[in-house]
Chain A
Amino acid sequence: MTVLYDSVLAVVAAAGLLTLLRLVRGPGALDRIMALDVLATMIIAGTAVGMAARGDPTPLPVLVVLALLAFIGSVTAAHLVEKREGMR
């Protein structure tokens, strides 16, 4: 089971790295917002896997807070971008 958890974590981490690459590349603000949203999802998934691996429910509230923050953050940022575009 340990090998399974480790390999699953490795795959999620690889996915996070690919997402980071998109975050760096852009090209627009919206792509970066999207990448950040996906990155938050990856962190939630990784934390959940770590929880299962150790059988330790301590990070459970972190998952909830991250899910909330990711939503509020990306919606607000996307809204601001949209407003800025509307001004032109």
Chain B
Amino acid sequence: MNALNTARDAVTAVLLPAGAAFCLLGALGLLRFPDTGSRLHAAAKAQTLGLLLVLVGTAVQMPLRHAPVLLLVALFQLLTAPVTSQIIGRAAYRAQALDHRLLLRDELAERLEREGTPAYGQEREADEEDEGR
């Protein structure tokens, strides 16, 4: 029993700081990155990974019957983070919150051009200003 507790503590001692570090890195990215699109990367990926690590680290310390609920939270985060990011990303594209100079490839613009619809944001690229920088 004692060896088991030590093992649990060891797992938690590795996973919790790692998760917290990812949370901090994600927040740092959210604060420092130049436009909405790149902030989305930091917000979605680093946060999800950080939360997953923290949840696993917590689940190890809890009685086994609480593990499924924590798993549910983790699963839910995994399912919803991409959906939220996609919707915010699309809204950002329409709202011209993306810095088009930072995009390596703009597939939506290519497609809109093919279909004869003018691409969003092309004409407003120059006067876009980001006070957050």
Contacts and interface: CB of A to CB of B under 8 A. Distances in A.
Question: Which of the four size classes fits the interface of chain B?
Answer: 35 or more
A39 B58 CA distance: 19
Interface residues of A, number: 51
B94 A21 contact: no
B31 A18 contact: yes
Contacts, number: 166
B83 A71 contact: yes
Contacts of B55: 45, 48
A15 B51 CA distance: 12
Given A34-B39, A34-B88, A74-B84, A51 B58 contact: yes
A85 B73 contact: no
A61 B83 CA distance: 23
A45 B30 contact: no
A44 to B, nearest CB: 6
Given A55-B61, A74-B84, A12 B91 contact: no
